[in-house]
Structure 1
Amino acid sequence: MKILSMSTATNNLSVALNDDAKIITEKNEFDQRNHSAHLDPLIAEILKENNLRLAEIDRFAVAIGPGSYTGLRIGVTTVKMFASILHKEVAGISTLQALAASCAEEGTLIVAGIDARNDNYFAGAYVNREDDWGPECVIPDGHYHIDTLLSAVAEYCADNNLENVIYVGSGFEKQKEAIKKINIPFNFGTEKQNIVHAGLIGKLAVDAQPDDPDQLLPNYLRRTQAEIDWHKKTGEAYKPDSNYVEEV
């Protein structure tokens, strides 16, 4: 199964071609912040270099969040369009699970996170199980203050006799003193591990349940400012399909 996968969730853009779990090629652009202009050319390069047409892709996969609101919409909209027009499968993969997938350690809690500023993180925690490929989520992806996140990490490690933690993603190094206080040995991810890789998204997509392209949505894990402004202005409850963007 040929899988074309991508991540536009962070400052770094990643696109990859997989043959089932095997990563054929992956292309990355680091800190370019212009994914809307660079995504399609990267896809075209990969297809050309591998003598493939877009119609020959069997499944599309994308990081659905958390991440940059604008970035997520670019990636999700692209795969929705491809899958819908070509009648192909699409799989949405957690950005945090893709980060955690860069760590192969067993018996270790993998805390994957994206700095959300002011000591807040989009984060979740994962473990690798023997004989399974793909990290299992054990602390749900969410929007956490660092104190809340570390409390959950300490509790999970105590309950499951884990004695090591690895923190991957962005912004954890500045929390080193707070992390030390929970008294669990830890490491930070390497530069390579701290980046979302489309090839790993493709590997996770092999066994993922396909999504309906028309129902695939970004998973922001936090209300957008437009939703908050709408709620303040109208006093109405949050609605998944409201027209607040047009009204605010």
Structure 2
Amino acid sequence: MKQLAIDTSNLTMALAVAKEQVILGQIQTMGNKNHSVSLMPSIDYLVKSVGWKPNQIEEVLVAIGPGSYTGLRIGVTTAKILASSLNCSLKAISSLKVLAANVRVQDAIIVPLFDARRQNVYAGAYKWQEDQLVAVITEAHYSLSQLIDLVKAYDNVHFVGQDIKKFQQEILASIPKAIFATDELSNYPTAVRLIELAKNEVTVDPLSVVPQYLKRVEAEEKWLIDHQNEEKQSYVEKV
């Protein structure tokens, strides 16, 4: 099977192509958050560089969040359009799970996290069971203190993500034996991990796939507070 993997859920834009789970090529950029400009030209270049035509893609894989609201919309929308127009299968995988897959430590509790500002994080926890990542703490928008309370009961806890340095001191104060990924590349999601995880994921209907933000945007939260006594109506429809 020929696969195209897409992750634009955060600062990184990560793409990869594979045939029968063998990576044929990848593109990864960090630092320039211009996914709307660079994503489609990068996909076109990558597909052509391995000698494929677009209609030869049999499966599209996409990271569906949490992460940047704009980045998620760009990546998920692109993946849905490609899967629909090329009539190929689509699999949608958590961005946190993709990040957790960078830690290959058996018997560890792996905690991937992204900064959600104001001492909050998007996070969850996973562990390896044979060759599958299994969730042990549900992914959600947590305050840092909530997350620490959830994971401090476990042994051999590994934190991973580009934002872990911001929270390292506070985490160590409650979990002195916590381990932090030190390899810079391990702290960023890659499309290669999407391809590795895909074999244990189910195919989804492109029309049903939506970004998993895990938290409403601030404008929507404010609108809901200001209009809580009004007849219930979608914020998007109202705006």
Whether the TM-score (by the shorter chain) exceeds 0.5 is yes
Q: Which residue of 1 aligns with 2:164?
A: 172
1:108-134 deviations in Å (ceiling 9; x for gaps): 11110001111110001111123x2x3
Sequence identity of aligned pairs in percent?
36
How far apart, in 1, do the equivalents of 2:134 and 2:63 lie? 16
Give yes or no for the alignment of 1:9 onto 2:2: no
Task: Verify: 1:214 aligned to 2:207, yes or no.
Answer: yes
Amino acid at match of 1:208: E
Structure 2 matches for 1:43-192, cutoff 5 A?
A: 43-130=43-130, 132=131, 134-155=132-153, 157=154, 162=155, 164-189=156-181, 190-192=183-185
Q: Counterpart of 1:193 in 2: which secondary structure? A: helix
Deviation at 1:246, TM superposition (A): 5.3
Question: Residues 8 and 238 of structure 1: is their aligned pair in 2 closer, same or farther, counting only changes over 3 Å?
Answer: farther
Which one is further off, 31-40 or 19-28?
19-28
Classify the secondary structure of the residue corresponding to 1:227.
Answer: helix
Compute the displacement of 1:20 (Å). Answer: 3.4
* 1:126–1:137 contact (8 Å) kept in structure 2: yes
Query: 2:166 corresponds to which letter in structure 1?
Result: K
Query: Mind listing any 5+ residue stretches in structure 1 that lack a counterpart?
Result: none
Aligned length: 237
Q: In structure 1, the residue corresponding to 2:85 is in which secondary structure? A: helix
Offset, 1:233? 3.8
SS of residue in 2 equivalent to 1:113: strand
How many Å separate the matches in 2 of 1:175 and 1:83? Answer: 38
Cα separation, 2, equivalents of 1:192 and 1:237: 48
Offset at residue 170 of structure 1 (A): 2.7
Confirm whether residue 199 of structure 1 aligns to residue 166 of structure 2: no
The one-letter amino acid of 1:137's match is: A
TM-score (norm 1): 0.90
1:31 aligns with 2:31: yes
* SS in structure 2 of the partner of residue 192 of structure 1: helix
Which residue in 2 is equivalent to 1:224? 217
Cα-to-partner distance string for 1:173-209 (whole Å, 9 max, x where unaligned): 2222222233452222121111110111122122210
CA distance in 1, matches of 2:173, 2:68: 30
| 2: CA distance, partners of 1:86 / 1:25 | 20
Q: Does the CA contact (< 8 Å) of 2:126 and 2:133 recur in 1?
A: yes
Asked whether the 8 Å contact 1:25–1:46 carries over to 2, the reply is yes
Maintained 8 Å contact 1:23/1:203: no
CA contact (8 A) 2:11 2:33 kept: yes
Q: Distance in 1 between matches of 2:162 and 2:143?
A: 14
CA contact (8 A) 1:227 1:238 kept: no
Q: Contact between 1:231 and 1:237, CA under 8 Å: does it hold in 2?
A: no
| Mapped partners of 1:237, 1:62: distance in 2 | 36
TM-score scaled by length of structure 2: 0.93
* CA displacement 1:200-243 (0-9 Å, x = unmatched): 1122122210110000000000012342233234325876xx2x
Report the 3-state secondary structure (helix = DSSP H, G, I; strand = E; otherwise coil) of the residue aligned with 2:105.
coil
Distance, in Å, in 2 between the alignment partners of 1:11 and 1:37 is 14
Tell me the secondary structure at the aligned position of residue 206 of structure 2: coil
Corresponding residue SS for 1:135: strand
Q: Is the 8 A contact 2:57 2:86 kept in 1?
A: no
Question: Which structure 2 segments of 5+ residues have no match?
Answer: none
Output the CA distance in 1 between the equivalents of 2:122 and 2:114: 5
